[in-house]
């Protein structure tokens, strides 16, 4: 019996660049599992729905990071194994986490 093996996955765009998983190429990041988690989260829309459970009393003119973005950053940070909030000081500059958490500007950092 012939086995069919998928060569890769296309995850759309992030920061205007195509995001793909290719099993034939060299290893570029060890955080590639985030793409699979993001695809699952997108289909379930879980984090967006969960963000509506929080009341944001901050001044909207001074807010840089939405509740949904901060929640996504925290949940995906936990999935990466970074349990401590101090880890977000380092993770805030991670481009793959930024793309997954919803940042549209590659130069902008996440919350810390």
Helix H or strand E encompassing 14: strand 8-14
- What's the confidence (pLDDT) of residue 54? 93
**How far is it, in rounded angstroms, from Cα 79 to Cα 34?**
8
- Produce one character per residue of 24-45: b if its CB has 16 or more CB atoms within 10 Å, e if not: eeeeeeebeebbeebeebeeee
Q: What confidence score (pLDDT) does residue 98 get? A: 75
Q: Backbone phi, then psi, for 21, in 5-degree steps?
A: -115, 125
Per-residue confidence (pLDDT) for residue 2, from 0 to 100: 62
Read off the pLDDT of residues 14-70 as tens digits, 9 standing for 90 and up. Answer: 656 676 766 666 555 556 677 778 888 888 999 989 999 999 999 989 988 889 888
pLDDT category at 99 given cuts 50, 70, 90 is confident
Q: What is the pLDDT of residue 57?
A: 93
User: What pLDDT is recorded for position 108?
Assistant: 76
Average pLDDT over residues 84-105: 74
Q: pLDDT, tens digit, for every residue of 77-90?
A: 888 888 777 777 77
**What is the reported pTM?**
0.65
Alpha carbon distance 53, 71 (integer Å) = 11
Whose structure tokens read 């993770």? 91
């Amino acid at each position: 019996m012939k086995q069919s093996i998928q060569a890769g996955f296309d995850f759309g765009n992030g920061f205007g660049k195509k995001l793909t998983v290719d099993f034939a190429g060299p290893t570029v990041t060890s955080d590639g599992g985030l793409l699979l988690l993001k695809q699952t989260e997108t289909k379930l829309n879980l984090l967006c729905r969960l963000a509506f459970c929080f009341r944001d009393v901050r001044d909207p003119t001074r807010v840089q990071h939405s509740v949904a973005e901060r929640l996504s950053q925290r949940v995906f940070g936990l999935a990466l194994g970074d349990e401590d909030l101090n880890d977000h000081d380092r993770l805030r500059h991670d481009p793959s986490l930024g793309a997954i958490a919803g940042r549209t500007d590659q130069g902008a950092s996440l919350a810390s």
